[in-house]
Protein backbone atom coordinates (compact mmCIF):
# COMPACT_ATOMS: atom_id res chain seq x y z
CA UNK A 1 0.00 0.00 0.00
CA UNK A 2 1.35 3.41 -0.95
CA UNK A 3 1.67 5.83 1.95
CA UNK A 4 0.83 9.32 0.68
CA UNK A 5 2.19 12.53 2.23
CA UNK A 6 -0.32 14.58 4.22
CA UNK A 7 -0.48 17.25 1.48
CA UNK A 8 -1.27 15.58 -1.81
CA UNK A 9 -3.32 15.80 -4.99
CA UNK A 10 -5.29 12.87 -6.38
CA UNK A 11 -5.41 12.66 -10.18
CA UNK A 12 -8.28 10.54 -11.46
CA UNK A 13 -7.33 8.91 -14.75
CA UNK A 14 -9.95 8.53 -17.46
CA UNK A 15 -7.53 7.00 -19.94
CA UNK A 16 -5.62 9.91 -21.45
CA UNK A 17 -2.15 9.05 -22.77
CA UNK A 18 -0.87 12.26 -21.13
CA UNK A 19 -2.37 11.86 -17.66
CA UNK A 20 1.11 11.23 -16.27
CA UNK A 21 2.11 14.72 -17.41
CA UNK A 22 -0.41 16.16 -14.96
CA UNK A 23 1.35 14.31 -12.16
CA UNK A 24 4.69 15.62 -13.39
CA UNK A 25 3.53 19.23 -13.40
CA UNK A 26 2.04 18.93 -9.91
CA UNK A 27 5.24 17.39 -8.55
CA UNK A 28 7.31 20.07 -10.27
CA UNK A 29 5.24 22.52 -8.21
CA UNK A 30 6.49 20.75 -5.07
CA UNK A 31 3.28 18.87 -4.30
CA UNK A 32 2.98 15.08 -4.15
CA UNK A 33 0.46 13.56 -6.54
CA UNK A 34 -0.80 10.12 -7.40
CA UNK A 35 -2.78 8.81 -10.35
CA UNK A 36 -5.68 6.44 -9.73
CA UNK A 37 -7.87 4.82 -12.38
CA UNK A 38 -11.42 6.12 -12.26
CA UNK A 39 -12.74 2.69 -11.27
CA UNK A 40 -10.54 2.52 -8.15
CA UNK A 41 -10.38 6.24 -7.41
CA UNK A 42 -12.74 6.09 -4.44
CA UNK A 43 -10.41 3.73 -2.58
CA UNK A 44 -7.43 5.95 -3.45
CA UNK A 45 -9.36 9.02 -2.25
CA UNK A 46 -10.10 7.44 1.13
CA UNK A 47 -6.50 6.26 1.54
CA UNK A 48 -4.79 9.47 0.44
CA UNK A 49 -7.20 12.01 1.93
CA UNK A 50 -5.97 14.52 -0.68
CA UNK A 51 -6.30 18.30 -0.50
CA UNK A 52 -7.51 18.56 -4.10
CA UNK A 53 -8.59 16.43 -7.07
CA UNK A 54 -7.79 16.68 -10.78
CA UNK A 55 -9.92 14.87 -13.37
CA UNK A 56 -7.89 13.90 -16.45
CA UNK A 57 -8.72 13.76 -20.12
CA UNK A 58 -9.68 10.54 -21.85
CA UNK A 59 -10.71 8.98 -25.17
CA UNK A 60 -14.28 8.03 -24.19
CA UNK A 61 -17.38 10.09 -24.94
CA UNK A 62 -19.23 11.31 -21.88
CA UNK A 63 -22.36 11.10 -24.03
CA UNK A 64 -22.22 7.28 -23.99
CA UNK A 65 -24.30 5.63 -21.29
CA UNK A 66 -21.42 3.47 -20.04
CA UNK A 67 -18.73 6.17 -20.12
CA UNK A 68 -16.42 6.54 -17.08
CA UNK A 69 -17.54 8.73 -14.19
CA UNK A 70 -15.83 10.28 -11.17
CA UNK A 71 -16.76 8.83 -7.76
CA UNK A 72 -19.42 10.92 -6.08
CA UNK A 73 -17.28 11.18 -2.95
CA UNK A 74 -15.12 13.71 -4.82
CA UNK A 75 -17.99 16.16 -5.23
CA UNK A 76 -19.34 15.48 -1.74
CA UNK A 77 -15.96 16.20 -0.11
CA UNK A 78 -15.96 19.99 -0.44
CA UNK A 79 -12.42 19.84 -1.88
CA UNK A 80 -11.22 21.89 -4.88
CA UNK A 81 -11.66 20.01 -8.16
CA UNK A 82 -10.04 20.73 -11.53
CA UNK A 83 -11.37 19.07 -14.69
CA UNK A 84 -9.26 18.87 -17.85
CA UNK A 85 -10.88 18.08 -21.25
CA UNK A 86 -12.90 14.89 -20.56
CA UNK A 87 -12.59 15.92 -16.92
CA UNK A 88 -14.52 19.11 -17.70
CA UNK A 89 -17.19 17.19 -19.56
CA UNK A 90 -17.63 14.58 -16.83
CA UNK A 91 -17.98 17.38 -14.25
CA UNK A 92 -20.79 18.90 -16.25
CA UNK A 93 -22.46 15.54 -16.87
CA UNK A 94 -22.43 14.70 -13.15
CA UNK A 95 -23.24 18.15 -11.77
CA UNK A 96 -26.21 18.98 -14.00
CA UNK A 97 -24.74 20.54 -17.13
CA UNK A 98 -25.01 19.26 -20.67
CA UNK A 99 -22.49 17.76 -23.11
CA UNK A 100 -23.09 16.92 -26.76
CA UNK A 101 -21.03 15.31 -29.54
CA UNK A 102 -19.28 17.99 -31.57
CA UNK A 103 -21.16 17.23 -34.77
CA UNK A 104 -24.48 17.71 -32.96
CA UNK A 105 -23.37 20.87 -31.16
CA UNK A 106 -22.18 22.44 -34.38
CA UNK A 107 -18.68 23.09 -35.61
CA UNK A 108 -17.22 19.63 -34.91
CA UNK A 109 -14.30 19.00 -32.57
CA UNK A 110 -11.19 21.02 -31.92
CA UNK A 111 -7.71 19.53 -32.23
CA UNK A 112 -4.28 21.08 -31.91
CA UNK A 113 -3.24 24.67 -31.28
CA UNK A 114 -5.97 27.13 -30.38
CA UNK A 115 -6.15 30.61 -28.92
CA UNK A 116 -8.49 31.46 -26.09
CA UNK A 117 -9.63 34.89 -25.02
CA UNK A 118 -9.82 35.63 -21.30
CA UNK A 119 -13.22 37.05 -20.44
CA UNK A 120 -13.17 37.42 -16.65
CA UNK A 121 -10.74 37.18 -13.73
CA UNK A 122 -10.39 33.71 -12.20
CA UNK A 123 -8.34 32.25 -9.31
CA UNK A 124 -7.13 29.50 -11.65
CA UNK A 125 -5.09 31.97 -13.69
CA UNK A 126 -4.75 34.82 -11.23
CA UNK A 127 -1.41 36.55 -11.82
CA UNK A 128 -0.93 34.69 -15.12
CA UNK A 129 -3.70 35.85 -17.47
CA UNK A 130 -5.77 39.02 -17.50
CA UNK A 131 -9.19 39.73 -19.07
CA UNK A 132 -8.92 40.78 -22.70
CA UNK A 133 -5.70 38.83 -23.35
CA UNK A 134 -5.35 35.97 -25.84
CA UNK A 135 -3.24 32.91 -25.07
CA UNK A 136 -2.19 29.75 -26.89
CA UNK A 137 -3.54 26.45 -25.59
CA UNK A 138 -3.74 22.87 -26.88
CA UNK A 139 -7.13 21.35 -27.65
CA UNK A 140 -8.05 17.73 -28.35
CA UNK A 141 -11.78 17.10 -28.05
CA UNK A 142 -14.77 15.95 -30.09
CA UNK A 143 -17.57 16.45 -27.57
CA UNK A 144 -18.53 19.89 -26.29
CA UNK A 145 -20.11 21.36 -23.19
CA UNK A 146 -23.33 23.06 -24.33
CA UNK A 147 -24.90 24.01 -20.97
CA UNK A 148 -23.28 24.75 -17.63
CA UNK A 149 -24.21 23.21 -14.29
CA UNK A 150 -25.64 25.56 -11.68
CA UNK A 151 -23.02 27.78 -10.06
CA UNK A 152 -20.61 27.77 -13.02
CA UNK A 153 -19.76 30.67 -15.30
CA UNK A 154 -17.67 31.03 -18.44
CA UNK A 155 -14.38 32.86 -17.80
CA UNK A 156 -12.52 32.18 -21.09
CA UNK A 157 -13.53 31.13 -24.60
CA UNK A 158 -11.95 29.92 -27.84
CA UNK A 159 -13.27 29.84 -31.38
CA UNK A 160 -14.16 26.13 -31.13
CA UNK A 161 -14.91 26.00 -27.39
CA UNK A 162 -17.26 28.63 -25.97
CA UNK A 163 -16.69 27.01 -22.56
CA UNK A 164 -12.88 26.86 -22.78
CA UNK A 165 -12.52 27.71 -19.07
CA UNK A 166 -15.39 27.56 -16.61
CA UNK A 167 -15.45 28.21 -12.87
CA UNK A 168 -17.58 27.80 -9.79
CA UNK A 169 -15.47 29.84 -7.38
CA UNK A 170 -17.83 29.28 -4.43
CA UNK A 171 -17.16 25.53 -4.51
CA UNK A 172 -13.59 25.88 -5.87
CA UNK A 173 -14.50 23.93 -9.02
CA UNK A 174 -12.60 24.80 -12.21
CA UNK A 175 -12.46 23.15 -15.60
CA UNK A 176 -10.72 23.67 -18.93
CA UNK A 177 -11.50 22.20 -22.32
CA UNK A 178 -7.82 22.46 -23.27
CA UNK A 179 -4.93 20.34 -22.00
CA UNK A 180 -2.82 22.46 -19.65
CA UNK A 181 -0.42 19.58 -18.88
CA UNK A 182 1.23 19.49 -22.34
CA UNK A 183 4.08 21.76 -23.43
CA UNK A 184 1.93 23.05 -26.30
CA UNK A 185 0.02 25.07 -23.69
CA UNK A 186 2.91 27.40 -22.76
CA UNK A 187 1.39 28.57 -19.47
CA UNK A 188 -0.04 25.18 -18.53
CA UNK A 189 2.46 24.39 -15.78
CA UNK A 190 1.79 27.78 -14.19
CA UNK A 191 -1.95 27.12 -14.25
CA UNK A 192 -1.52 23.77 -12.51
CA UNK A 193 0.81 25.39 -10.00
CA UNK A 194 -1.84 28.03 -9.33
CA UNK A 195 -4.43 25.33 -8.74
CA UNK A 196 -2.37 23.44 -6.15
CA UNK A 197 -0.93 26.51 -4.43
CA UNK A 198 -3.57 29.23 -4.68
CA UNK A 199 -6.78 27.22 -4.96
CA UNK A 200 -5.88 24.18 -2.81
CA UNK A 201 -3.63 26.19 -0.48
CA UNK A 202 -0.71 23.73 -0.50
CA UNK A 203 2.77 24.92 0.43
CA UNK A 204 4.68 23.01 -2.23
CA UNK A 205 7.33 21.65 0.11
CA UNK A 206 7.32 17.98 -0.97
CA UNK A 207 10.86 16.79 -1.66
CA UNK A 208 12.66 13.65 -2.76
CA UNK A 209 13.97 13.33 0.80
CA UNK A 210 10.36 13.01 1.95
CA UNK A 211 9.67 10.45 -0.77
CA UNK A 212 12.72 8.47 0.36
CA UNK A 213 11.57 8.40 3.98
CA UNK A 214 8.00 7.55 3.00
CA UNK A 215 9.09 4.70 0.74
CA UNK A 216 11.44 3.23 3.31
CA UNK A 217 8.56 3.11 5.79
CA UNK A 218 6.29 1.61 3.14
CA UNK A 219 8.83 -1.08 2.16
CA UNK A 220 9.33 -2.07 5.81
CA UNK A 221 5.58 -2.28 6.31
CA UNK A 222 5.09 -4.38 3.18
CA UNK A 223 8.04 -6.74 3.63
CA UNK A 224 8.06 -7.22 7.40
CA UNK A 225 10.58 -9.95 8.15
CA UNK A 226 10.29 -11.47 4.66
CA UNK A 227 13.05 -11.95 2.13
CA UNK A 228 13.28 -9.95 -1.09
CA UNK A 229 15.02 -10.92 -4.31
CA UNK A 230 15.73 -8.01 -6.67
CA UNK A 231 16.35 -8.35 -10.37
CA UNK A 232 19.08 -6.03 -11.56
CA UNK A 233 19.24 -5.05 -15.22
CA UNK A 234 22.32 -2.86 -14.92
CA UNK A 235 20.30 0.29 -15.52
CA UNK A 236 19.59 3.21 -13.24
CA UNK A 237 16.04 2.18 -12.31
CA UNK A 238 16.70 -1.27 -10.87
CA UNK A 239 19.91 -0.08 -9.21
CA UNK A 240 18.17 2.80 -7.42
CA UNK A 241 15.33 0.48 -6.41
CA UNK A 242 17.80 -2.04 -4.98
CA UNK A 243 19.74 0.57 -2.99
CA UNK A 244 16.51 2.05 -1.58
CA UNK A 245 15.21 -1.38 -0.57
CA UNK A 246 18.57 -2.29 0.99
CA UNK A 247 18.43 0.89 3.05
CA UNK A 248 14.99 -0.18 4.27
CA UNK A 249 15.57 -3.87 5.07
CA UNK A 250 19.33 -4.53 4.84
CA UNK A 251 20.38 -8.14 4.30
CA UNK A 252 16.79 -9.28 3.86
CA UNK A 253 17.50 -8.24 0.25
CA UNK A 254 19.52 -10.28 -2.23
CA UNK A 255 20.15 -8.89 -5.71
CA UNK A 256 20.32 -11.12 -8.75
CA UNK A 257 22.03 -9.84 -11.86
CA UNK A 258 21.27 -11.91 -14.92
CA UNK A 259 23.86 -11.72 -17.69
CA UNK A 260 21.58 -12.70 -20.56
CA UNK A 261 24.07 -11.74 -23.24
CA UNK A 262 21.98 -8.70 -24.19
CA UNK A 263 23.95 -6.13 -22.17
CA UNK A 264 26.03 -3.13 -23.20
CA UNK A 265 29.80 -3.39 -23.33
CA UNK A 266 31.35 -4.04 -19.86
CA UNK A 267 27.94 -3.75 -18.14
CA UNK A 268 28.39 -6.83 -15.99
CA UNK A 269 31.71 -5.65 -14.55
CA UNK A 270 30.26 -2.21 -13.72
CA UNK A 271 27.32 -3.69 -11.81
CA UNK A 272 29.51 -6.06 -9.81
CA UNK A 273 31.84 -3.22 -8.88
CA UNK A 274 28.99 -0.94 -7.74
CA UNK A 275 27.05 -3.44 -5.65
CA UNK A 276 29.77 -5.64 -4.22
CA UNK A 277 32.55 -3.14 -3.72
CA UNK A 278 30.75 0.15 -3.06
CA UNK A 279 27.44 -0.75 -1.39
CA UNK A 280 28.28 -4.23 -0.08
CA UNK A 281 24.84 -5.49 -1.10
CA UNK A 282 24.46 -9.29 -1.42
CA UNK A 283 24.74 -9.99 -5.16
CA UNK A 284 24.37 -13.14 -7.23
CA UNK A 285 25.53 -13.02 -10.86
CA UNK A 286 23.97 -15.58 -13.17
CA UNK A 287 25.63 -16.35 -16.52
CA UNK A 288 22.53 -17.13 -18.59
CA UNK A 289 23.65 -16.05 -22.07
CA UNK A 290 23.41 -19.53 -23.56
CA UNK A 291 19.83 -20.18 -22.40
CA UNK A 292 18.58 -16.76 -23.51
CA UNK A 293 20.19 -17.03 -26.93
CA UNK A 294 18.76 -20.52 -27.37
CA UNK A 295 15.27 -19.27 -26.48
CA UNK A 296 15.53 -16.28 -28.83
CA UNK A 297 16.67 -18.37 -31.79
CA UNK A 298 14.19 -18.01 -34.63
CA UNK A 299 12.12 -15.35 -32.80
CA UNK A 300 11.73 -12.07 -34.71
CA UNK A 301 8.44 -10.61 -33.45
CA UNK A 302 9.25 -7.85 -30.90
CA UNK A 303 6.38 -8.69 -28.55
CA UNK A 304 7.38 -12.36 -28.49
CA UNK A 305 10.98 -11.36 -27.75
CA UNK A 306 9.89 -9.13 -24.86
CA UNK A 307 7.60 -11.77 -23.41
CA UNK A 308 10.19 -14.53 -23.71
CA UNK A 309 12.83 -12.41 -22.00
CA UNK A 310 10.43 -11.41 -19.23
CA UNK A 311 9.35 -15.02 -18.71
CA UNK A 312 12.93 -16.29 -18.71
CA UNK A 313 13.90 -13.64 -16.14
CA UNK A 314 11.12 -14.90 -13.89
CA UNK A 315 12.36 -18.48 -14.32
CA UNK A 316 15.90 -17.45 -13.38
CA UNK A 317 14.69 -15.55 -10.33
CA UNK A 318 12.58 -18.50 -9.24
CA UNK A 319 15.58 -20.82 -9.50
CA UNK A 320 17.80 -18.43 -7.54
CA UNK A 321 15.11 -17.89 -4.89
CA UNK A 322 14.93 -21.65 -4.33
CA UNK A 323 18.71 -21.79 -3.93
CA UNK A 324 18.41 -19.08 -1.26
CA UNK A 325 15.84 -21.14 0.59
CA UNK A 326 12.92 -19.18 -0.81
CA UNK A 327 11.98 -15.51 -1.13
CA UNK A 328 8.71 -13.78 -0.33
CA UNK A 329 9.01 -10.80 -2.67
CA UNK A 330 10.42 -9.93 -6.08
CA UNK A 331 11.64 -6.34 -6.41
CA UNK A 332 11.70 -4.50 -9.73
CA UNK A 333 12.57 -1.03 -10.98
CA UNK A 334 9.21 -0.42 -12.67
CA UNK A 335 8.51 3.26 -13.45
CA UNK A 336 5.35 5.19 -14.29
CA UNK A 337 6.04 5.27 -18.05
CA UNK A 338 6.44 1.46 -17.99
CA UNK A 339 2.99 1.17 -16.46
CA UNK A 340 1.32 3.77 -18.68
CA UNK A 341 2.68 2.31 -21.93
CA UNK A 342 2.17 -1.32 -20.99
CA UNK A 343 -1.34 -1.60 -19.62
CA UNK A 344 -4.75 -0.08 -20.02
CA UNK A 345 -4.40 1.96 -16.83
CA UNK A 346 -8.09 2.57 -16.46
CA UNK A 347 -9.09 -1.00 -17.20
CA UNK A 348 -10.56 -0.01 -20.53
CA UNK A 349 -10.26 3.34 -22.28
CA UNK A 350 -6.51 3.80 -22.67
CA UNK A 351 -4.51 2.13 -25.40
CA UNK A 352 -1.67 -0.35 -24.88
CA UNK A 353 1.40 0.71 -26.88
CA UNK A 354 3.80 -2.08 -25.94
CA UNK A 355 4.21 -4.63 -23.21
CA UNK A 356 7.00 -4.29 -20.69
CA UNK A 357 8.47 -7.29 -18.93
CA UNK A 358 8.38 -5.46 -15.58
CA UNK A 359 4.61 -5.04 -15.51
CA UNK A 360 3.39 -8.41 -16.69
CA UNK A 361 2.75 -9.74 -13.19
CA UNK A 362 4.13 -12.92 -11.64
CA UNK A 363 3.17 -16.55 -12.27
CA UNK A 364 1.02 -17.88 -9.45
CA UNK A 365 3.43 -20.77 -8.96
CA UNK A 366 6.06 -18.37 -7.61
CA UNK A 367 3.95 -17.48 -4.59
CA UNK A 368 5.78 -14.12 -4.39
CA UNK A 369 4.58 -10.55 -4.20
CA UNK A 370 6.02 -7.58 -6.06
CA UNK A 371 7.93 -4.74 -4.46
CA UNK A 372 8.05 -1.79 -6.86
CA UNK A 373 9.16 1.30 -4.91
CA UNK A 374 9.67 3.45 -8.03
CA UNK A 375 6.32 2.70 -9.65
CA UNK A 376 5.03 6.25 -9.09
CA UNK A 377 8.20 7.99 -10.33
CA UNK A 378 9.35 9.35 -13.66
CA UNK A 379 12.88 8.86 -14.93
CA UNK A 380 14.25 12.23 -13.85
CA UNK A 381 12.69 11.73 -10.41
CA UNK A 382 14.48 8.38 -10.13
CA UNK A 383 17.72 10.18 -10.88
CA UNK A 384 16.94 12.70 -8.13
CA UNK A 385 16.25 9.84 -5.74
CA UNK A 386 19.53 8.20 -6.76
CA UNK A 387 21.41 11.39 -5.86
CA UNK A 388 19.49 11.54 -2.59
CA UNK A 389 20.74 7.99 -1.90
CA UNK A 390 24.34 9.00 -2.60
CA UNK A 391 24.85 7.69 -6.13
CA UNK A 392 27.23 9.77 -8.22
CA UNK A 393 26.02 11.86 -11.15
CA UNK A 394 27.89 9.79 -13.71
CA UNK A 395 25.87 6.73 -12.75
CA UNK A 396 22.44 8.29 -12.20
CA UNK A 397 22.83 10.34 -15.37
CA UNK A 398 23.20 7.26 -17.54
CA UNK A 399 20.83 7.03 -20.45
CA UNK A 400 17.86 4.66 -20.07
CA UNK A 401 18.50 1.05 -21.05
CA UNK A 402 15.56 -1.30 -21.67
CA UNK A 403 15.10 -4.44 -19.59
CA UNK A 404 15.06 -6.65 -22.72
CA UNK A 405 18.42 -5.10 -23.58
CA UNK A 406 19.89 -5.35 -27.05
CA UNK A 407 17.16 -7.78 -28.12
CA UNK A 408 14.89 -4.84 -28.97
CA UNK A 409 17.70 -2.94 -30.63
CA UNK A 410 18.20 -5.76 -33.10
CA UNK A 411 14.99 -5.90 -35.14
CA UNK A 412 14.45 -9.43 -36.33
CA UNK A 413 16.23 -12.50 -35.03
CA UNK A 414 18.81 -12.12 -32.25
CA UNK A 415 22.01 -14.12 -31.83
CA UNK A 416 25.34 -13.71 -30.04
CA UNK A 417 27.24 -12.61 -33.16
CA UNK A 418 24.80 -9.76 -33.86
CA UNK A 419 24.83 -8.71 -30.19
CA UNK A 420 28.64 -8.54 -30.26
CA UNK A 421 28.55 -6.37 -33.40
CA UNK A 422 25.96 -4.01 -31.88
CA UNK A 423 27.83 -3.78 -28.55
CA UNK A 424 30.94 -2.47 -30.31
CA UNK A 425 29.05 0.02 -32.49
CA UNK A 426 27.03 1.32 -29.53
CA UNK A 427 30.17 1.79 -27.42
CA UNK A 428 31.84 3.83 -30.17
CA UNK A 429 28.74 6.01 -30.58
CA UNK A 430 28.46 6.76 -26.85
CA UNK A 431 32.20 7.35 -26.58
CA UNK A 432 32.03 9.99 -29.30
CA UNK A 433 29.00 11.61 -27.64
CA UNK A 434 30.91 11.85 -24.36
CA UNK A 435 34.02 13.15 -26.12
CA UNK A 436 31.90 15.90 -27.68
CA UNK A 437 30.48 16.86 -24.27
CA UNK A 438 26.94 16.06 -25.40
CA UNK A 439 26.01 13.09 -23.20
CA UNK A 440 24.10 15.04 -20.55
CA UNK A 441 22.25 17.10 -23.17
CA UNK A 442 20.70 13.92 -24.60
CA UNK A 443 17.95 11.89 -22.96
CA UNK A 444 18.84 8.65 -24.71
CA UNK A 445 21.27 7.63 -27.42
CA UNK A 446 21.97 4.17 -28.78
CA UNK A 447 22.77 2.18 -31.88
CA UNK A 448 20.44 -0.25 -33.64
CA UNK A 449 21.54 -3.16 -35.82
CA UNK A 450 19.09 -3.45 -38.70
CA UNK A 451 18.07 -6.70 -40.43
CA UNK A 452 19.20 -5.13 -43.70
CA UNK A 453 22.37 -5.82 -45.67
CA UNK A 454 23.79 -3.44 -48.25
CA UNK A 455 26.61 -3.46 -50.76
CA UNK A 456 29.70 -1.48 -49.85
CA UNK A 457 33.28 -1.02 -50.96
CA UNK A 458 36.20 -1.27 -48.55
CA UNK A 459 39.60 -0.97 -50.21
CA UNK A 460 39.18 -2.75 -53.53
CA UNK A 461 36.81 -5.36 -52.12
CA UNK A 462 33.04 -5.58 -52.30
CA UNK A 463 31.24 -5.95 -48.96
CA UNK A 464 27.72 -7.06 -48.19
CA UNK A 465 27.16 -6.24 -44.55
CA UNK A 466 24.63 -4.86 -42.05
CA UNK A 467 23.26 -1.35 -41.59
CA UNK A 468 23.65 0.40 -38.23
CA UNK A 469 21.04 2.97 -37.22
CA UNK A 470 21.85 5.71 -34.72
CA UNK A 471 19.21 7.18 -32.42
CA UNK A 472 19.46 10.19 -30.10
CA UNK A 473 16.57 12.13 -28.55
CA UNK A 474 15.87 14.86 -26.04
CA UNK A 475 13.03 14.41 -23.54
CA UNK A 476 12.01 15.07 -19.96
CA UNK A 477 10.05 11.90 -19.21
CA UNK A 478 10.35 9.55 -22.18
CA UNK A 479 6.68 9.97 -23.08
CA UNK A 480 7.43 12.44 -25.87
CA UNK A 481 10.80 13.06 -27.52
CA UNK A 482 12.51 15.23 -30.13
CA UNK A 483 15.47 14.28 -32.29
CA UNK A 484 18.84 15.55 -31.12
CA UNK A 485 20.27 17.83 -33.86
CA UNK A 486 23.83 16.52 -34.30
CA UNK A 487 25.90 18.42 -36.83
CA UNK A 488 27.01 16.64 -39.99
CA UNK A 489 30.67 16.53 -38.92
CA UNK A 490 29.82 14.61 -35.74
CA UNK A 491 27.67 12.05 -37.55
CA UNK A 492 30.31 11.63 -40.21
CA UNK A 493 32.97 10.99 -37.58
CA UNK A 494 30.84 8.37 -35.80
CA UNK A 495 29.91 6.63 -39.05
CA UNK A 496 33.54 6.48 -40.15
CA UNK A 497 34.67 4.96 -36.87
CA UNK A 498 31.89 2.35 -36.79
CA UNK A 499 32.47 1.22 -40.37
CA UNK A 500 36.24 1.10 -39.88
CA UNK A 501 36.28 -0.53 -36.45
CA UNK A 502 33.27 -2.86 -36.38
CA UNK A 503 33.43 -5.84 -38.66
CA UNK A 504 29.98 -6.65 -40.06
CA UNK A 505 28.73 -3.07 -40.58
CA UNK A 506 29.30 -1.14 -43.80
CA UNK A 507 26.63 1.58 -43.61
CA UNK A 508 25.39 3.97 -40.89
CA UNK A 509 22.12 5.98 -40.88
CA UNK A 510 20.59 8.46 -38.42
CA UNK A 511 16.97 8.23 -37.24
CA UNK A 512 15.20 11.62 -37.47
CA UNK A 513 11.81 10.45 -36.13
CA UNK A 514 10.30 12.18 -33.10
CA UNK A 515 7.96 10.56 -30.55
CA UNK A 516 5.18 10.55 -31.51
CA UNK A 517 4.78 9.25 -34.19
CA UNK A 518 7.64 6.84 -33.49
CA UNK A 519 8.71 5.33 -30.19
CA UNK A 520 12.18 5.99 -28.79
CA UNK A 521 13.25 2.36 -29.04
CA UNK A 522 12.81 0.70 -32.40
CA UNK A 523 10.90 -2.26 -31.01
- Active site members: 85, 179, 181
Query: CA-to-CA distance for 429 and 470, rounded, in angstroms?
Result: 8
The CA-atom distances, in angstroms, between 349 and each of 86, 140, 344, 422 are 12, 16, 7, 38
Give 9-28 as a DSSP string. EEEEE-S-TTHHHHHHHHHH
Regarding beta strands 153-158 and 110-118, do their DSSP bridges make them parallel or antiparallel, or are they unpaired?
antiparallel
Burial of 90 (0-12, 13-18, 19+ CB in 10 A): buried
Query: CA-to-CA distance for 407 and 507, rounded, in angstroms?
Result: 20
CB 312 within 8 A of CB 329: no
Query: CA-to-CA distance for 483 and 502, rounded, in angstroms?
Result: 25
Helix, strand, or coil here: 82?
strand
CA-wise closest residue to 23 among 59, 50, 60, 61: 50
Query: CA-to-CA distance for 275 and 280, rounded, in angstroms?
Result: 6
Query: CA-to-CA distance for 222 and 86, rounded, in angstroms?
Result: 35
Helix, strand, or coil here: 154?
strand
Query: CA-to-CA distance for 147 and 93, rounded, in angstroms?
Result: 10
Query: CA-to-CA distance for 472 and 493, rounded, in angstroms?
Result: 15
CA-wise closest residue to 35 among 332, 340, 379: 340
Amino acid sequence: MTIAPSDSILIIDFGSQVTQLIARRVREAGVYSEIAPFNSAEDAFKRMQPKGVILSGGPASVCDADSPRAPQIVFDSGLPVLGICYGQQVMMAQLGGKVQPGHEAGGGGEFGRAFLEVQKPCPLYDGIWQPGEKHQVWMSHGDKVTALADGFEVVATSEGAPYAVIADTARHYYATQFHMEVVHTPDGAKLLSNFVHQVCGLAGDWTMAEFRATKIAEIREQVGDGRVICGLSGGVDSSVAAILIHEAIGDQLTCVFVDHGLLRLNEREQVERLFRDHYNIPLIVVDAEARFMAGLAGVSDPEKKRKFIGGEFIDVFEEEAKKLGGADFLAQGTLYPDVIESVSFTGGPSVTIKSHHNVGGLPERMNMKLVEPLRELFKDEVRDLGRELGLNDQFVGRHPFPGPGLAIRIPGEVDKARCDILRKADAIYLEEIRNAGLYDAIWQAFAVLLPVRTVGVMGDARTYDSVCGLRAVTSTDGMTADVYPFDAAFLSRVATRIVNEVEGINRVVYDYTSKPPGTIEWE
